[in-house]
Amino acid sequence: MWGTKEGLDFLVSETLKARYLRKGERDWEDICERVAKAIAITEEEHLGFKDLMIRKIFLPSSPTLMNAGTEFGQFAACFVIPVEDGIEEIFDAIKTTALIQKTGGGTGFDFSQIRPDDSPSLCADGAASGPVAVMKLFNEATEIVKQFGRRRGANMGILNVSHNDIVYFIRAKHVEGELSNFNLSVLVPDTFMELVEADRVGEVWNKQTGMTVGCIFSEIVEGIWRNGEPGILFYDRINRDNFTPALGDISATNPCGEEPLLPFESCNLGSINVSFFVTDGKVNWDLLREVTGKAVRFLDNEIDKNTYPAPEIEAATKRTRKVGLGVMGFHDMLLKLGLPYDSSETLKLAEKIMEQISWAAVRESRKLAAEKEPFPEHENSTWELPMRNAALTAVAPTGTISILAGCSAGIEPVFSWVYRRTRTVGKEFMLVHPLFEAHFMSKLPEVDYNWLLEHVYKHGTLQNVENPKLVSEEEKRIFRSALDIDWKAHINVQAAFQRHCHAGISKTINMPDYAGKEDIKQALIYAWRQGLKGLTIYRTGSRQHVVLSLKKPES
């Protein structure tokens, strides 16, 4: 039933065919050659970039892998498009979004400028439809663009917690399948969270509607408990890391929340496979810093080589030259080092990884500023020394490129050591984690190994295996998957990375199916206190359609 290498190889092969291989290309090396040639300025860069990608040490995001060296030539993964309160402006934004999503980019929108439902409209007759109705227009446009693109379009819909329609917005995805092309997030200031933390929930937050802090917050908690929507974005924390405050405040992010951007800005993402840097139980920090420098140069080159979907996007992007360099393979790295995901040693390692990457990225950006020139808004920025890029680091979910790299996604813990993957290039895959297989297949007789696979596939954990000859206490300590880890430990890891990250962190805080609303409330407060810029919580089983799943219970 199970064949890890064959299953993973088949998944990679099908993914390449469905999304990345272009006419005349046969394999991964052909893709790397095309991309490296398109991004590099010199032959030395060409060979260096190609080597990093072939060895899967560093990979750019999907739009670059799909479009570099093609007629599209659009490399950026992240965009924020402003949505103003007018018919022409709304449909202009929809058109720009369609052009972005056709080339694989993801879009984020702050709908807070849209007047509330039933308020007077700009038209002579009738009333405004409100932010949720406008979101539905964008959702339908994305549905149409899907037919032309190589991957599903993704959106982030954001509404300020002070908007009159905030409850309608929070409830917009209560029925699974509604607004299926959107993630939703509520933009929350510190003053709101301070009232929640102080249990001053009876205070009126919105004087126009009379809604209290408690009413709004309980709706947020209910939505998260019901099916993981909405997420939370912490407005003040995001803007404390706004390196170009003269250009205005940031109120929107890309679809997964890791890249807060100003209106019309785009950002190129790339991720370093940190599991690659473990040798003989130690981390090669010198090599990590070296690869970081090359990756920053790669992403900076993209800004000038890119074909932009609209002139406003090109102008805004080149004004600040933001890039988003992050990591993948973090849990694999921990396994190679023999560290549990929820340990104090892991938190120290997480913080050091991001500190070293950000330090090396800043060093390279300063070199680039000396070679070329600083980003145009540098004089009005918070950077003291010349920099090529206003922001450099962000941790993306790496859902697809981690498949190509053969490593765990982003900084997420492994969902399960044995699982079913669906909704990926239209197929279903049964998979076993390669490090799990390498460890237990060499230790156990075939019949015991197959029993263990079935057990983990059914339960999602090996913590409840009672036979110490099959699984020792030390193995239980190391092989802890997502639902074995307390929500506070999830948040602590995200916070450790966030301390040295310029932008944000995309991560899911997993909770078991029996988690209550009080758990969600406490997690939101704790995440805000730990300095996170945003938060997504998912309670197991709260959605019917998911990408990763376990064995279905027998009727």
Q: What is the pLDDT along the chain (555 residues), one digit of tens a residue?
A: 445 566 778 888 889 998 999 999 999 999 999 999 999 999 999 999 999 999 999 999 999 999 999 999 999 999 999 999 999 999 999 999 999 999 999 999 999 999 997 654 333 344 447 999 999 999 999 999 875 556 677 999 999 999 999 999 999 999 989 999 999 999 999 999 999 999 999 999 999 999 999 999 999 999 999 999 999 999 999 999 999 999 999 999 999 999 999 999 999 999 999 999 999 999 999 999 999 999 999 999 999 999 999 999 999 999 999 999 999 999 999 999 999 999 999 999 999 999 999 999 999 999 999 999 999 999 999 999 999 999 999 999 999 999 999 999 999 999 999 988 776 656 677 789 999 999 999 999 999 999 999 999 999 999 999 999 999 999 999 999 998 999 999 999 999 999 999 999 999 999 999 999 999 999 999 999 999 999 999 999 898 877 776 776 664
Which residue's entry shows tokens 């007789």?
Answer: 445
User: Would you call 254 a catalytic residue per the annotation?
Assistant: yes
* Comma-separated ranges of CATH 3.20.70.20 domains in the chain: 21-74+265-404, 78-253
Q: What is the pLDDT of residues 226-276, one digit of tens each?
A: 999 999 999 999 999 999 999 999 999 999 999 999 999 999 999 999 999
pLDDT confidence of residue 8 = 79
Cα 498 to Cα 123: distance, rounded to the nearest angstrom: 45
Beta-strand relationship, 266-273 and 323-328: parallel
Q: What is the pLDDT of residues 13-57, one digit of tens each?
A: 889 998 999 999 999 999 999 999 999 999 999 999 999 999 999
Amino acid at the residue 364: E
Number of Cβ within 10 Å of residue 44's Cβ equals 9
Listed residue (506, 531, 490) closest to 409, CA to CA: 506
Helix (H) or strand (E) holding 270: strand 266-273
Beta bridge partners of 188: 234
Cα 128 to Cα 36: distance, rounded to the nearest angstrom: 49
Q: Given 3.10.560.10, 3.40.50.2300, 3.20.70.20, 3.40.250.10, which CATH number is that of 21-74+265-404? A: 3.20.70.20
Q: Which of helix, strand or coil describes residue 431? A: strand
User: Which residues are CB-neighbours of 177 under 8 A, at least 6 positions away?
Assistant: 545
Q: Given 3.50.7.10, 3.65.10.10, 3.40.1110.10, 3.20.70.20, which CATH number is that of 78-253? A: 3.20.70.20
Cα 323 to Cα 292: distance, rounded to the nearest angstrom: 12
Catalytic residue among 219, 258, 302, 364: 258
DSSP 8-state assignment for residue 120: B
Catalytic residue among 183, 242, 254, 306: 254
Per the CB < 8 A criterion, the answer to whether 460 and 481 are in contact is yes
Q: What is the pLDDT of residues 187-230, one digit of tens each?
A: 999 999 999 999 999 999 999 999 999 999 999 999 999 999 99
Listed residue (45, 38, 29, 37) closest to 297, CA to CA: 45
Per the CB < 8 A criterion, the answer to whether 121 and 134 are in contact is no
User: Would you call 219 a catalytic residue per the annotation?
Assistant: no
User: Residue 14: what are its φ and ψ, rounded to 5°?
Assistant: -65, -35
User: Which residues are CB-neighbours of 153 under 8 A, at least 6 positions away?
Assistant: 101, 106, 107, 142, 145, 146, 181
Catalytic residue among 78, 256, 407, 501: 256
Cα 257 to Cα 185: distance, rounded to the nearest angstrom: 9
